[in-house]
Chain A
Amino acid sequence: MSPVRPAAPARPKAPALVSLAEMPPDISVVLVSFEMEQALQRSLMSLSRRCQLGLEGRRCEIIVIDNGSARMPQLTPPEGMEFRLLRASRPAPSPVGALNEGLALARAPLIGAWIDGARMASPGLLAACLAAAEDARDVVVTLNYRLGRPDDGVAPAERAAHDAALLAGIGWPAQGYGLFSIATAEQAGEQGPILESNALFLSRGLWAELGGFDPVFDEPGGGAANPDLLQRALAAPGTRLVRVTGEGTFHQYHGGTTSTCRESATEALKTIARRYAALRGQPLARIRQVGSVFASPHAPAPHAPAPHAPERIAPPDLQTGMARP
Chain B
Amino acid sequence: MTSDNAGLSAVALEMRDWLADYISSVLDVDRADFPYDTGFDALGLDSVEAVILAGMMEERFGIAIDPSELYNHPTATRFARHVAGQAGGPRTAEGAGTGIAG
Q: Are B48 and A283 neighbours in the complex by a CB distance under 8 Å?
A: no
CB of B11 within 8 A of chain A? no
Q: Are A310 and B22 neighbours in the complex by a CB distance under 8 Å?
A: no
Give the complex CA separation of A269 and B47 in angstroms.
11
> In the complex, how many angstroms separate the beta carbon of B74 from the nearest chain A beta carbon?
11
- Among B49-57, B83-91, B92-100, the one that faces the other chain is B49-57
Q: List CB contacts (< 8 Å) of A221-278 with chain B.
A: 266, 269-274, 277
Residue of A nearest to B52 (CB): A273
Q: Which of A285, A313, A316 interacts with B26 by CB under 8 Å?
A: A285
Q: Which of A186, A277, A310, A312 interacts with B56 by CB under 8 Å?
A: A277
Number of residues from B at the complex interface, CB < 8 A: 21
Residue of B nearest to A194 (CB): B48
Q: Which of A195, A270, A286, A312 interacts with B54 by CB under 8 Å?
A: A270
Residue of B nearest to A316 (CB): B48
Q: Are A270 and B26 neighbours in the complex by a CB distance under 8 Å?
A: no
CB of A108 within 8 A of chain B? no
CB of A73 within 8 A of chain B? no
Q: Are B46 and A288 neighbours in the complex by a CB distance under 8 Å?
A: no
CB of A209 within 8 A of chain B? no
B contact residues around A186 at 8 Å (CB): 48
Q: Are A286 and B51 neighbours in the complex by a CB distance under 8 Å?
A: no
CB of A156 within 8 A of chain B? no
CB of B59 within 8 A of chain A? yes
Q: Are A270 and B55 neighbours in the complex by a CB distance under 8 Å?
A: yes
**Chain B binding site: helix, strand, loop or mixed by DSSP?**
helix
Q: Are B26 and A283 neighbours in the complex by a CB distance under 8 Å?
A: yes
> In the complex, how many angstroms separate the beta carbon of A320 from the nearest chain B beta carbon?
15
**Chain A binding site: helix, strand, loop or mixed by DSSP?**
loop
- Tell whether A270 pairs with B25 under 8 Å between CB atoms, given A283-B56, A313-B46: no
CB of A315 within 8 A of chain B? yes
Q: Are A195 and B48 neighbours in the complex by a CB distance under 8 Å?
A: yes
- Tell whether A310 pairs with B47 under 8 Å between CB atoms, given A274-B59, A283-B25, A283-B26: yes
Give the complex CA separation of A48 and B46 in angstroms.
35
A contact residues around B59 at 8 Å (CB): 274
> In the complex, how many angstroms separate the beta carbon of A164 from the nearest chain B beta carbon?
27
Q: Are B48 and A311 neighbours in the complex by a CB distance under 8 Å?
A: no
Q: Are B22 and A313 neighbours in the complex by a CB distance under 8 Å?
A: no
CB of A170 within 8 A of chain B? no
Q: List CB contacts (< 8 Å) of B23-66 with chain A.
A: 25-28, 41, 44-49, 51-52, 54-56, 58-59
Give the complex CA separation of A283 and B27 in angstroms.
11
Q: Are A288 and B52 neighbours in the complex by a CB distance under 8 Å?
A: no
Give the complex CA separation of A186 and B48 in angstroms.
9
Give the complex CA separation of A324 and B97 in angstroms.
35
Give the complex CA separation of A186 and B49 in angstroms.
12
Beta-carbon contacts of A165-188 to B below 8 Å, as 1s and 0s? 000000000000000000000101
- With A186-B48, A270-B52, A288-B27 known, 4 other A-B pairs at CB within 8 A are A274-B56, A285-B52, A311-B47, A313-B46
Shortest 5 CB-CB distances between A and B: which pairs? A270-B55, A310-B46, A285-B26, A273-B52, A273-B55
